[in-house]
């Protein structure tokens, strides 16, 4: 049994802040004097009411959300949102614009098509194996919404700046970079994020929806597939994933009270990414897979001179307590996911290992 914690570079479920894990551990059997675990208290109790209300309040403060935006917690992950979005917003004869930047965008597009609705793919980076973020996108003025994936975990690309849709509501899958940097929320009609990459454990998706989007939701949908169901009941229509929401609340508290907000977090994340990309760019041994201007601050993807060396790199790293560096099964290679909770010290440890591995195997 391993006594020490590894430096965790998993893409999701991913690292959580150590202070959060310690607080969960300390309070797990007796949450806030209840005499029960947080996994046992009623979701209708004041104890959980305080948890979910604080999670919503901290989300609003961190993202500077005004009263037009509702913060919801929905089960089913981001993948359920792929079908809920067209189901809730696209009426007969209407269409939405989609930008295809990789696997998750493609899955979202497929869910529109399954419903027999129209997804206009207005831009794609498939021509270069999804190694870049498209620019100068011809969005349609009559689109109901324009969908993007803000950060692409598999290919290691990220929108450095969000596109101008000329007033068409932006909808974004922010599963892997939500709460990693400040941004202007006003163009967004919906932001959604599976928690397990950057804000919590698996089991819940955070959805931030602007109230004008709720007006598009038809009454004819099943109750559990309507955003209005969750907004009217403050995410409490049925029993929510209480433990996952509790963990998110603690992560947001850590972000706000310990880190000091999203501007501070953004500065830390940029330093972390710079450390790794500087090594990748320092020679020919490591090769980044994303174009320089589209590189992700969350998922650093790279290749080595051969697949044999990549396997050795991943195994040797694990033997040195550096875990989760294997690339996604669909593309291979190596990937360091450096979400908020993976600190600069872990990045520097990985950087030292990469330098040593190159000297010994280059």
Sequence-ordered alpha helix ranges (H) in 182-306: 211-214, 227-232, 242-253, 262-280
Q: What span, in angstroms and rounded, lies between the C-alpha atoms of 245 and 250?
A: 9
Q: State the CB neighbour count (10 A cutoff) for residue 297.
A: 22
CA distances from 106 to 189, 289, 325, 351 (A): 20, 19, 24, 33
- Does residue 184 have an active-site annotation? no
Per the residue annotation, which of 97, 117, 159, 173 is the catalytic one? 173
- With left for phi above 0 and alpha for psi between -120 and 50, is residue 234 left, alpha or beta? left
Q: Which of 67, 85, 89 is nearest to 76 (CA)?
A: 85
Per the residue annotation, which of 117, 197, 226, 272 is the catalytic one? 197
- Does residue 197 have an active-site annotation? yes
116-121 own/partner pairs: CB under 8 Å, 24+ apart = 117/86, 117/90, 118/90, 118/94, 119/86, 119/95, 119/147, 120/95, 120/96
Structure tokens at 343: 């600190």
- Does residue 173 have an active-site annotation? yes
Per the residue annotation, which of 47, 104, 159, 254 is the catalytic one? 104
Residues with active-site annotation = 104, 173, 197
């Amino acid at each position: 049994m391993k006594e020490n914690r590894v430096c965790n570079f998993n893409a999701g479920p991913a690292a959580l802040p150590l202070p959060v894990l310690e607080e969960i551990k300390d309070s797990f059997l007796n949450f806030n004097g209840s005499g029960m675990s947080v996994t046992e208290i009623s979701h209708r109790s004041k104890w959980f009411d305080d948890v979910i209300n604080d999670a919503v309040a901290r989300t609003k403060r961190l993202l500077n959300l005004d009263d037009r935006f509702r913060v919801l917690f929905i089960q089913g992950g981001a993948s359920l949102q792929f079908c809920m979005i067209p189901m809730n917003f696209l009426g007969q004869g209407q269409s939405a614009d989609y930008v295809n930047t990789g696997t998750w965008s493609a899955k979202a597009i497929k869910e529109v098509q399954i419903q027999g609705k129209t997804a206009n793919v207005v831009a794609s980076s498939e021509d270069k194996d999804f190694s870049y973020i498209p620019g100068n996108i011809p969005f349609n003025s009559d689109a109901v919404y324009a969908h993007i994936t803000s950060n692409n975990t598999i290919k290691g690309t990220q929108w450095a700046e969000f596109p101008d849709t000329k007033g068409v509501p932006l909808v974004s899958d922010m599963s892997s970079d939500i709460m990693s940097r400040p941004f202007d929320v006003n163009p967004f009609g919906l932001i959604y994020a599976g928690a397990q990459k950057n804000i919590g454990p698996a089991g819940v998706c955070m959805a931030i929806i602007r109230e004008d989007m709720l007006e598009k939701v038809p009454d004819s949908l099943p109750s559990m597939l309507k955003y209005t169901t969750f907004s009217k009941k403050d995410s409490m229509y049925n029993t929510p994933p209480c433990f996952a929401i509790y963990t998110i609340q603690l992560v947001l508290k850590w972000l706000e009270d310990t880190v000091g907000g999203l501007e501070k977090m953004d500065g830390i994340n940029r330093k972390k990414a710079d450390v790794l990309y500087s090594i990748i760019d320092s020679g020919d041994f490591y090769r980044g897979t994303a174009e320089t201007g589209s590189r992700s601050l969350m998922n650093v993807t790279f290749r080595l001179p051969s697949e044999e060396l990549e396997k050795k790199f991943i195994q040797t790293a694990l033997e040195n307590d550096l875990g989760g560096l294997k690339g996604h099964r669909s593309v291979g290679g190596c990937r360091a996911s450096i979400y908020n909770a993976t600190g600069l010290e872990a990045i520097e440890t990985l950087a030292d290992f990469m330098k040593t591995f190159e000297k010994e195997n280059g």
